Structure 1
């Protein structure tokens, strides 16, 4: 017999859906004249958009926590051991993961970067086993690898060139994969004793990411003079709106980590690739591609298979509770 944590699965898929919306909208923002004029400045557009996105997301989370009457409590959680684990997770997933992702795009291109980075749930699964003793069945591994495999196939195009830039790019993407894979595992570890709730953890995550980007990443790679330029445009406020979807996606994601564990949450989260394809065809009049639709179906099927638990086995979904 098989079972689902139906609530956890629904929330995990909700994270994928809302992140697909966020991804589509951020694509529109990056194609605006505001960011196109930065094309001659390496890394400017992606790093600036990520910084602004996480900054607005932290403000949305601050507003949410204030409405819930938990803002003061959330700040106090920063001084706890669990809170510091979330800070570590946030640093790995946000500034470290995203910065090395962008550096890899610069070195080996977006196609290979997106394809290779999609294996991060498998890396997360390894660390989840080592740190949290969260085991996956053979069926779960089949689902996870199916999702990853079809995501790689979907994103791949062209041939990988040879040369120093490739070697450096692959090193960059390894750091990215490590950061993204470890984020959910360490976040789960930080939330395991209920000292920090998923919402409090997310608040800490976004605040940490925004501060590190503002103080370290942007000054080193871009410069805040460009931030000021973006702040005077309509795109600035468009990113604030986009960040609402991103924040909602993270709310779902962190709730899913708590309910079904980091590996299954990661697997459901990468369903955003499939959702983005469906949304593009259904609502944005994108070109219909049978191959893309079939790949999207396999990505979704693999994600769902990853969260199936055999009733004869111990309840793995309680691994991080």
Structure 2
């Protein structure tokens, strides 16, 4: 359980620190820098995270193990999950942070496990109980209430931020379903999976996304600016978060891990208050709580959630055959 809580706290810290980086002048100096800020910052964030992951795995002497996993069938699924969850999900997340701030972003994107549960139901034929559907509906209502009208004091465009959140939910929810299945195999080491995930994201940005959008110049400018230390700090915390999250999935299963991990939306509120001097209004706080509770109910077997012991061997077993 400690791994899941640690993943939530470190991700909340990553979120708030990244918002500080996005406020630096490097992302506002030119029209192109403004237009590509989300892509540029995500590329540098995941690139730095990939470097930290490489160093960590080199120290642990596990680089060969990562290579062996990469060429296996499980490695291919992790790469697919990384492409969906990183360039798609993370870009949406950063876009949202830049426009509506870290607290609102964290609150709305906590919806992703509920979406993941629904995806598994329709695509992988995973059964959902009546209370799971009720939790999903509650999440949707809370997101709708938050997105209905702009909050005061946000840094950018409210609608763009909400759209970014929803893109993030689709990316992360889809990734979670695939990763949870992959980590069930004894052949898949959670730390190796994390390294493949971050490295895949960085390479996808470097070789595909940045050349397409013409973003290498902005990336170099941001790398040499005062924003980079903040991005690196956020990436370090994000790397720790993924290590803890994947470890939690491997040890206690996906349901409990997601339930603990999405509390990052609650942790982001005090971090925002301390580092940015901002926090959501009453509506935002209430909706954040509702989304967290609704996502837990939608994404988990509530009875199993409160069962003592390791559930990693029993959860999501139905995912293996369809894939």
**Under TM normalisation by the shorter chain, which class is it?**
0.7 to 0.9
Q: Which of these residues, 86, 93, 100, is aligned with residue 94 of structure 1? A: 86
Shift of 1:226: 1.7
**2:74 touches 2:182 (CA, 8 Å); kept in 1?**
yes
Q: 1:217 to 1:175 in 2, by over 3 A?
A: same
Q: 1:158 to 1:194 in 2, by over 3 A?
A: same
How many residues of Structure 1 are paired with residues of Structure 2 in the alignment? 302
CA distance in structure 2 between the aligned counterparts of 1:283 and 1:312, rounded to whole angstroms = 33
Secondary structure (helix, strand or coil) at the match of 2:187 reads: coil
1:183 aligns to what? 175
**1:118 touches 1:152 (CA, 8 Å); kept in 2?**
no
Deviation sequence 1:154-188 (CA, Å, 0-9, x none): 455349xxxxxxxx999998765443221111112
2:303 aligns to what? 310
CA distance in structure 1 between the aligned counterparts of 2:290 and 2:162, rounded to whole angstroms = 27
Spell out the pairing of 1:32-181 with structure 2 (5 A cutoff): 32-41=24-33, 43-99=35-91, 119-129=111-121, 135=127, 137-143=129-135, 145-146=137-138, 149-154=141-146, 156-158=148-150, 177-181=169-173
Q: 1:156 to 1:51 in 2, by over 3 A?
A: farther
Shift of 1:206: 0.2
Shift of 1:83: 0.8
TM-score, structure 1 length as denominator? 0.77
- Residues 1:239 and 2:235 aligned together: no
CA distance in structure 1 between the aligned counterparts of 2:168 and 2:304, rounded to whole angstroms = 35
CA distance in structure 2 between the aligned counterparts of 1:192 and 1:130, rounded to whole angstroms = 21
Cα RMSD over matched residues?
3.9
CA distance in structure 2 between the aligned counterparts of 1:169 and 1:26, rounded to whole angstroms = 15
Structure 1: gaps spanning 5 or more residues: 1-6, 160-167
- Residues 1:274 and 2:284 aligned together: no
TM-score, structure 2 length as denominator? 0.76
Shift of 1:19: 1.3
Deviation sequence 1:94-134 (CA, Å, 0-9, x none): 1233456778999xx769x9688664333311233466665
Structure 2: gaps spanning 5 or more residues: 152-159, 318-323
Deviation sequence 1:56-78 (CA, Å, 0-9, x none): 11111111111211122112211
Shift of 1:244: 0.9
Which is worse superposed, 254-263 or 176-185? 254-263
Q: Which of these residues, 244, 248, 256, is aligned with residue 256 of structure 1? A: 248
Spell out the pairing of 1:217-236 with structure 2 (5 A cutoff): 217-236=209-228
**1:191 touches 1:198 (CA, 8 Å); kept in 2?**
yes
**1:134 touches 1:319 (CA, 8 Å); kept in 2?**
no
CA distance in structure 2 between the aligned counterparts of 1:102 and 1:80, rounded to whole angstroms = 31
Q: 1:177 to 1:273 in 2, by over 3 A?
A: closer
CA distance in structure 2 between the aligned counterparts of 1:281 and 1:172, rounded to whole angstroms = 23
